[in-house]
Amino acid sequence: MKPHRQKRLGIILFIAVGLSLAVGLTLFALRQNINMFYTPTQVAAGEVASGVQFRIGGMVKAGTIQEDQGSLRVSFVTTDYASDVPVQYEGILPDLFREGQGVVAEGQIDSAGVFHASKVLAKHDENYMSPEVKAALDAAGASPENHMMQPET
């Protein structure tokens, strides 16, 4: 084989090996790390098996935040105004976590229907509603405007 052919073959082989390695790794990693998103209605209907990692999004139901006095355990109810799902979390909640505001939690559901969150997300910008929460409310036929909390005075 001529040297420049050999070089070209080398380059092509190198790129092919690199690419297939990357594609393989990517697909493997993607399969492992997709978090599906469910609405409280879907979760309450039992659409998710226990032990599966997923995200749930809805509003924090007013009057349901309960803090354990002796530890960092917190429980609240997330709702899409059609169904409710109780959530438990141990840790510090984000600044913008409040009753009547949207919340997205990541974690697993147990057999009793309680969601154990490993992560709770609330947003930077309070005018901004995460597409996930909005989708959950739309799916349940509840527009957030009808249920918006009155601004604090």
Question: What residues make contact with other proteins under the rule CB under 8 A?
Answer: 3-4, 6-7, 10-11, 14-15, 18-19, 22, 25-26, 28-30, 32-37, 55, 67, 69-72, 90-93, 95-96, 104, 123-128, 130-132, 135, 151-152
Closest approach of Cβ 61 to other proteins, in Å? 19
Residue number, 69 or 111, with CB nearest to other proteins: 69
SS (H, E, C) 123-153: CCCCCCCCHHHHHHHHHCCCCHHHHCCCCCC
Closest approach of Cβ 92 to other proteins, in Å? 4
**CA atoms in the 13 A half-sphere facing the CB of 109:** 21
Amino acid identity, position 12: I
Residue number, 31 or 111, with CB nearest to other proteins: 31
Residue number, 83 or 130, with CB nearest to other proteins: 130
Give the residues across from 105 on adjacent strands.
Answer: 56, 120
- The answer to whether the beta carbons of residues 78 and 66 sit under 8 Å apart is no
Give the residues across from 79 on adjacent strands.
Answer: 59, 84
Closest approach of Cβ 86 to other proteins, in Å? 20
Closest approach of Cβ 90 to other proteins, in Å? 8
Residue number, 71 or 146, with CB nearest to other proteins: 71
DSSP-derived letter for residue 73 is: E
Closest approach of Cβ 43 to other proteins, in Å? 13
- Local structure of 123: helix, strand or coil: coil
Residue number, 1 or 112, with CB nearest to other proteins: 1
Amino acid identity, position 134: K
